[in-house]
Structure 1
Amino acid sequence: MPVELVGVGHRFGSGPWLFRSVDARVEAGSVAAVVGPSGSGKSTLLAICAGWMPPAEGTARTSAPARPDLPPRIAWVFQNPHGAPHRTALDHVALPLLAHGVPTRAADERARRLLEEFGLAGAADRSFSTLSGGEAQRLLMARALAGAPDVLLVDEPTAQLDQTTA
């Protein structure tokens, strides 16, 4: 059970409730979508799932099924892509691999494969600041997957993509 929400609700201070009584269980290997109008708390719910903020009511648990004694690896791809402007696309994807102790050569090879899977093979040596919004979004998806997360949270995954790429 990577993510479990029981009776989760949230509001900021004494403001109106964004949502209440959310019960959900997302199993390993499954995909779930949170849909709703702008301002309804979708990003807030993701922050609760990530453990970045506690819910105002209820409980939220995230676990790593293969490593119950360790905290889960959570990757979050934000709605608006952010990266180090002068670092290359390859650098961005290789970073989580290097952080997990993968040797540089192997990290670069794996990063290039991920870039290719996301249609960014030709962008490997380009700096983040030269990428289009859609390219940057796909780059950050590749980077998130490079870290082999237990839970992958993606906020507005197609917001920066054109019809064909989405």
Structure 2
Amino acid sequence: MTISEFNRRFLTERTGLPASRIGIVHCGVDTACFAFRDAERNVQGERRTLLGVGRLVPKKGFDLLLDAAAPLLEEDPRLRVVLAGDGPELGHLQARAEILGIQDQVEFAGVVDRDRILELFDESALFALPCRVSPDGDRDGVPVVLMEAMAVGLPV
């Protein structure tokens, strides 16, 4: 069993098993918990939040998010970035925010539980997760947190 056609092809190439022997079960979202929420997104108010959630590892691309957000943060002091998660890239990302001069508008929220993720979804104007293939070849399929953000109605 695997989660995608891409993974099935990968496993077929790596193991020699025929594709017909590898089933696919796609990841899903608990829509009882991550139900559409008609939240008033704070896009015209005093603070606007761009949210990223995930493990702080190269494949998640949070460094790209900081680079892309920097000119927007400079232009609009009401904008902020919240990154929820932990991992080996934390120090690098904090240093990157400082180099870009945006450290005062970037919050590293650490590991958060499901209830806090739902609150962050409600408080945010936009969700971003610029995944990429990391130098060691590690990559995401479709991250569940991305599907959760879409399920609650947060623009992605």
- Structure-1-length-normalised TM-score: 0.28
Q: Which has the higher helix share?
A: 2
- Structure with greater contact order relative to length (CA < 8 Å, sep ≥ 6): 2
- Structure-2-length-normalised TM-score: 0.29
Q: Which has the higher strand share?
A: 1
